[in-house]
């Protein structure tokens, strides 16, 4: 975990003087020259505290971006192939939509690609997924969802706004894309975002058990990962080979799913992920898996992870989060 003890040189000098004053004997200590005992600027100056990216936990060397986190809703069916822009995301959250399929919430902050898509619609589930202060790029949503998103105070951008366009070489509705780099320049951040996950160092991670492959099954769709070359490769990704998300970790959270209260145009009931409360967690990193528990106080609470031994942190890096239904969803892994 990122807890560091910093002691200034001035504090060390003061401590040494105190110890000297507490020494035994009646010998008088001669007065010292104040100019010679004063700490130099080199002694009192300390390196600045490191700062970290909120969506990866990696150390940041420059200034924070002027734009907020931009979350783009991306289609995740064969019709989306090839997905564009996933390779530049800081983090991706995969969530259930109607019919047992999934949709992606791709998070951008430290790096913003030129183009992202295909862009699809929001769900009420996004209220508990999108971090405070972020803006969502979407193809819209059902009116009942828009009402809830607006009530939650989440700003969103859709077709008709500058930077959102149709690619006429693709078929609708899988042809909506966003010039994310241009869009982000017009957005203003209201402070720096909080950490999305509890970040830590790889050395903090419990040993766990060996697991070099895993599959998250949502019903009609499953996502499979293989640990290769120090990272996790999505072997059934719809992204172009050179534009896949560079996953250092895969975090599987088992979640409750309810009914959003309406049906999609095809007549399927729309599910709503209940990303609050508590549930089982599986953290895959370095070819191993650590079993634990996640908790979240309300829809907008911070995500906390733990094992029986105590707090669990995610090694800094790019993380793909699978929100797999606790009922009607499955997670399997193998050595």
pLDDT at 264: 86
pTM of the full structure: 0.86
pLDDT in tens, 56-73: 999 999 999 999 999 999
Q: What is the mean pLDDT of residues 131-148?
A: 96
pLDDT in tens, 82-123: 999 999 999 999 999 999 999 999 999 999 999 999 999 999
Residues 231, 260 contacting (CB under 8 angstroms): no
Highest average pLDDT, of 8-22, 40-54, 140-154, comes from 140-154
Cis amide prior to 173 (ω within 30 degrees): yes
pLDDT surpasses 90 at 5? no
pLDDT at 45: 72
pLDDT surpasses 80 at 17? no
β-strand 91-96 against 319-325: which pairing, if any? parallel
Within 174-318, strands assigned E span: 176-178, 199-200, 209-210, 213-217, 222-228, 231-234, 249-263, 269-274, 277-285, 288-296, 303-307, 310-311, 314-315
Q: Pick the range with the lowest mean pLDDT from 14-18, 46-50, 153-157, 225-229.
A: 14-18
pLDDT at 44: 62
pLDDT at 39: 52
pLDDT at 37: 52
The single residue listed with the structure tokens 């790019």 is: 318
- Average pLDDT across the chain, whole number: 89
Q: Which of 124, 327, 291 is nearest to 217 (CA)?
A: 327
**Identical fold, 70-185 and 199-334:** yes
* Topology (CATH level 3) of domain 70-185: YerB-like fold (3.50.90)
211: Cβ contacts below 8 Å, ≥ 6 apart? 227, 284, 287, 288, 289, 333, 334, 335
**Helix boundaries (H) for 232-286:** none
Token digits of residue 259: 């009914």
The single residue listed with the structure tokens 């990704």 is: 237
Residue percentage of the chain with pLDDT more than 90: 82
Looking at domain 199-334, its CATH superfamily turns out to be YerB-like (3.50.90.10)
pLDDT at 268: 86
Q: Pick the range with the lowest mean pLDDT from 37-41, 206-210, 218-222.
A: 37-41
Instruction: Using only the alpha carbons of the chain, give its radius of gyration.
Output: 25
pLDDT surpasses 50 at 50? yes
pLDDT at 254: 98
Cα 126 from chain centroid (whole Å) = 14
Q: Where are the domains of the chain?
A: 70-185, 199-334
Give CA–CA dist 231/249, Å, rounded.
Answer: 7
Three-state SS sequence of 57-106: CCEECCCCCCCCCEEEEEECCHHHCCEECHHHCCEEEEEECHHHCEEEEE
- More confident: 38 or 48: 48
Which residues are paired to 272 by β-bridges? 258
pLDDT at 105: 98
pLDDT in tens, 281-329: 999 999 999 999 999 999 999 999 999 999 999 999 999 999 999 999 9
Q: What is the mean pLDDT of residues 181-209?
A: 95
Token digits of residue 228: 């290769």
pLDDT surpasses 50 at 9? no
């Amino acid at each position: 975990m990122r807890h560091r003890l910093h002691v200034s040189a001035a504090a060390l000098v003061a401590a040494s003087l105190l110890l000297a004053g507490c020494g035994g004997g009646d010998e008088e200590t001669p007065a010292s020259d104040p100019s010679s005992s004063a700490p130099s600027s080199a002694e009192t100056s300390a390196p600045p505290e490191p700062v970290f990216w909120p969506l990866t936990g990696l150390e940041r060397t420059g200034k924070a971006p002027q734009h907020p986190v931009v979350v783009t809703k991306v289609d995740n069916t064969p019709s989306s192939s090839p997905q564009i822009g996933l390779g530049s995301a800081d983090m991706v959250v995969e969530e259930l939509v109607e019919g047992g399929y999934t949709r992606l919430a791709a998070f951008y902050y430290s790096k913003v690609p030129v183009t992202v898509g295909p862009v699809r619609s929001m769900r009420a589930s996004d209220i508990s997924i999108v971090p405070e202060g972020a803006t969502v790029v979407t193809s819209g949503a059902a009116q009942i969802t828009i009402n809830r998103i607006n009530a939650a105070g989440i700003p969103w951008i859709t077709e008709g706004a500058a930077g959102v366009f149709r690619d006429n070489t693709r078929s609708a509705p899988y042809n909506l894309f966003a010039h994310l780099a241009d869009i982000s320049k017009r957005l203003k951040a209201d402070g720096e975002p909080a950490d999305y996950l509890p970040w830590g160092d790889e050395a903090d991670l419990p040993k766990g058990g060996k697991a070099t492959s895993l599959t998250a099954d949502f019903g009609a769709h499953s996502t499979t990962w293989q640990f290769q070359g120090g990272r996790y490769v999505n072997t059934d990704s719809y992204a172009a080979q050179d534009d896949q998300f560079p996953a250092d970790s895969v975090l599987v959270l088992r979640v409750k799913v309810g009914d959003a209260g309406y049906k999609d145009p095809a007549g399927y009931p729309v599910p709503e992920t209940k990303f609050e409360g508590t549930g089982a967690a599986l953290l895959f990193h370095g070819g191993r898996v650590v079993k634990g528990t996640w908790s979240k106080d309300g829809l907008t609470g911070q995500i906390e992870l733990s094992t029986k031994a105590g707090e669990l942190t995610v090694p800094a890096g790019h993380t793909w989060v699978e929100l797999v239904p606790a009922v009607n969803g499955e997670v399997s892994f193998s050595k």
